[in-house]
């Protein structure tokens, strides 16, 4: 006898849609993009790259927050597996206009795009419209930075961005009330209905096994029984195995709906971040508190990527170019691992053991990343060097953390680089040289010579080995320059 349901339910076109994978030919890791393109009424969504880079596939997902309200986020539907939208509302470009009984009435987003000539060939337009729609639902009068940030994940090769940005400004002129506001109560009631009972979902179909727990208890129990399943948090890394490397994912363990993993808790001394916290939630939380973390998150992927990607996933990749790792290492973070009958805390440095390899056991999950709040007297700065500012992979990233004595000598310094070795690493030789010395340009120049030879990075499409070595040296000098500027505020933890 089967133990768990194999049906997913979500709201589309204001109705609950059900997919029982045992009764269809749909494989569980079908992306939301491919599913929508198979429906007669939802072909507006487009595929450009199938890897999260172009935004042509952008849709909006609305879900209930812990206050029972709807929250709208833009996502790249090419990276979202169908079961990930269970219990949520899926909104596509076809849903934007309203019907007043006689004719279709354009949504303010669409009207503004038309008025401002915000489209030419139109291939990117459904995705652009959906990014603007998410902006419309989350802001009232956004500044230009907020508008451009909402559009960083949308490539347009012909219109140019000025008319689109103008449209984004104009769409707020008539206020922020739309037909979605009128319909919210009904959608909330449908979503509550779906989310009433939450046994795990287990789908064994089309040569795949897909597990989706909703509570931490179920997740740990199922993990014990299915240690061979591939964990997904936001799937922004894992989905590419399917869409780009064409790997058949045989067994997937989807923890994207375990709410207990989605938290940020702060006390006087410590900040703890649940592994399921999205990078955009973390970006917003850290904005006026931890500039060195929020700055690196600002240039992390695009808004669509950050809305899905989790901190647990970024740590879980153990990638040498994972952008949060240098900062988290400089903060001397700890990773909490949990299994069915226990938990342990490892320092992040112990946790990452090799190229994309971690010390996690097969029956464990990453549940939390935490660190002690730096003292106000400490200065911390992070940097990302990439070919373009947005939506690009780091050539080199770095985080520097320093505390100076009253006599301006280096009490403690941590220097961490990404992109220069098989995993993010501390520049221990350079740190050792600087410790105890006067923090002046002469010392930094000598240290930079040590740093220049401390790592033997590889050459690849993003950068040569020599350029990477120069970047490490130049970033140290930049850090010195910025900390030494008299007007520069010491960047410690700011409440
Ligand atoms: C277009 C695009 C742009 C990107 N830009 C950046 C960027 O600027 N900087 C950057 O660093 N990365 C970037 N990435 C990579 C990716 O988005 C990040 O690594 C992201 O943080 C992964 O998080 P996720 O939740 O989506 O992970 P997933 O894809 O779900 O998982 C990643 C890995 O972590 C494991 N994992 C996830 N959660 C857990 C858990 N709780 N316990 C144990 N293991 C777990 C998975 O098994 C998998 O091995 C980009 C990706 C794309 C597609
Ligand atoms: S198809 Fe390009 S981001 Fe999804
Ligand atoms: S209108 Fe042609 S790609 Fe944007």
Half-sphere exposure of 494 (CA within 13 A, CB side): 15
Q: Which atom of ligand 1 is nearest to the CA of 311?
A: 21
More confident residue, 435 or 1: 435
Nearest atom within ligand 3 for CA of residue 159 = 1
Residues with CB under 6 A from ligand 3: 119-125, 156-159
User: According to the CATH classification, is domain 7-95+181-254 in 3.30.365.10?
Assistant: no
CB of 49 sitting under 6 A from ligand 2: yes
**What's the gap in Å between 54 CA and the centre of ligand 2?**
5
What pLDDT score does 1 carry? 47
Q: What CATH topology corresponds to 262-484?
A: 3.30.465
Q: What is the mean pLDDT of residues 440-453?
A: 96
* Residue 493 in this model has a pLDDT that exceeds 70: no
Pocket test for ligand 3, best of 54, 125, 151 (most atoms within 8 A of CB): 125
CATH topology classification for 108-177: DNA polymerase; domain 1 (1.10.150)
Span 357-390, pLDDT tens digits: 999 999 999 999 999 999 999 999 999 999 988 8
Which pLDDT band holds residue 475 (cuts at 50, 70, 90)?
very high
Domains of the chain, residue spans: 7-95+181-254, 108-177, 262-484
**From 78, 156, 302, mutation site for ligand 2 pocket: most ligand atoms within 8 A of C-beta:** 78
Residue 438, CB-side half-sphere exposure with 13 Å CA sphere: 4
Tokens of 372: 């002690």
Q: Output the pLDDT for position 485.
A: 63
Per-residue pLDDT reduced to its tens digit, 4-19: 999 999 999 999 999 9
Instruction: Give burial (CB, 10 Å; 0-12/13-18/19+) of 86.
Output: buried
Q: Collect all residues with Cβ–Cβ distance below 8 Å to 384 and sequence separation of at least 6.
A: 296, 299, 323, 394, 397
**Quick one: what percent of the chain has pLDDT higher than 70?**
97
Q: How far is the CA of 243 from the centre of ligand 2 (A)?
A: 10
Among 315, 434, 327, smallest CA distance to 368 is for 315
pLDDT in tens, 176-204: 999 999 999 999 999 999 999 789 999 99
Least confident span in 96-100, 222-226, 304-308, 469-473: 96-100
Q: Give residue 252's pLDDT.
A: 98
Residue 149: what are its φ and ψ, rounded to 5°? -60, -40
Question: Residues 52-93: pLDDT tens digits?
Answer: 999 999 999 999 999 999 999 999 999 999 999 999 999 999
């Amino acid at each position: 006898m089967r133990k768990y349901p194999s049906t997913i339910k979500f709201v589309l076109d204001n109705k609950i849609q059900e997919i029982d994978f045992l009764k269809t030919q749909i494989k569980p890791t079908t992306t939301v993009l491919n599913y929508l393109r198979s429906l007669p009424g939802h072909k507006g969504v487009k595929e450009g790259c199938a890897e999260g880079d172009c935004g042509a596939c952008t849709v909006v997902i609305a879900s209930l927050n812990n206050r029972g309200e709807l929250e709208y986020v833009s996502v790249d539907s090419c990276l979202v597996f169908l079961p990930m939208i269970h219990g949520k509302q899926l909104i596509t470009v076809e849903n934007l206009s309203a019907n007043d009984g006689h004719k279709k009435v354009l949504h303010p987003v669409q009207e503004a795009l038309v008025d401002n000539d915000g489209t030419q060939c139109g291939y990117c337009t459904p995705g652009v419209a959906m990014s603007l729609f998410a902006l419309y639902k989350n802001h009232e009068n956004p500044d230009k930075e907020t508008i451009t940030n909402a559009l960083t994940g949308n490539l347009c090769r012909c219109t140019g961005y000025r008319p689109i940005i103008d449209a984004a400004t104009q769409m707020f002129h008539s206020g922020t009330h739309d037909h979605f506001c009128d319909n919210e109560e009904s959608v909330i009631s449908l979503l509550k209905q779906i989310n009433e009972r939450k046994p795990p979902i287990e789908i064994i179909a089309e040569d795949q096994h897909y597990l989706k727990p909703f509570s931490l208890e179920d997740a740990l129990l199922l993990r014990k029984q299915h240690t061979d399943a591939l964990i997904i948090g936001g799937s922004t890394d894992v989905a590419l195995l399917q869409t780009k490397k064409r790997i058949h994912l045989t067994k997937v363990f989807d923890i994207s709906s375990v709410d207990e993993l989605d938290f940020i808790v702060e006390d006087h001394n410590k900040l703890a971040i649940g592994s399921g916290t999205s990078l955009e939630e973390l970006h917003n939380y850290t904005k006026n508190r931890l500039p060195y973390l929020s700055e690196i998150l600002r240039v992390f992927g695009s808004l669509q990527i950050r809305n899905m990607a989790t901190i647990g996933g970024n740590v879980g990749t153990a990638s040498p170019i994972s952008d949060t790792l240098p900062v988290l290492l400089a903060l001397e973070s700890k990773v909490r691992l949990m299994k069915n009958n226990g938990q342990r805390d490892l320092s992040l440095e112990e946790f990452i053991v090799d190229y994309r390899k971690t010390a996690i056991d097969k029956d464990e999950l990453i549940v939390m990343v935490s660190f002690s709040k730096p003292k106000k007297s400490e200065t911390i700065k992070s940097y990302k060097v990439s070919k373009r500012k947005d939506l690009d992979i780091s050539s080199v990233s770095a985080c520097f953390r320093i505390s100076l004595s009253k006599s301006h000598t280096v009490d403690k310094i941590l220097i961490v680089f990404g992109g220069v070795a098989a995993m993010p690493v501390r520049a221990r030789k350079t740190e050792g040289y600087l410790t105890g010395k006067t923090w002046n340009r002469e010392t930094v120049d000598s240290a930079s010579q040590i740093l220049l030879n401390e790592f033997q990075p590889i050459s690849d499409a993003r950068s040569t080995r020599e350029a990477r070595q120069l970047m490490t040296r130049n970033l140290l000098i930049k850090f010195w320059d910025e900390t030494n500027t008299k007007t520069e505020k010491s960047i410690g933890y700011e409440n």
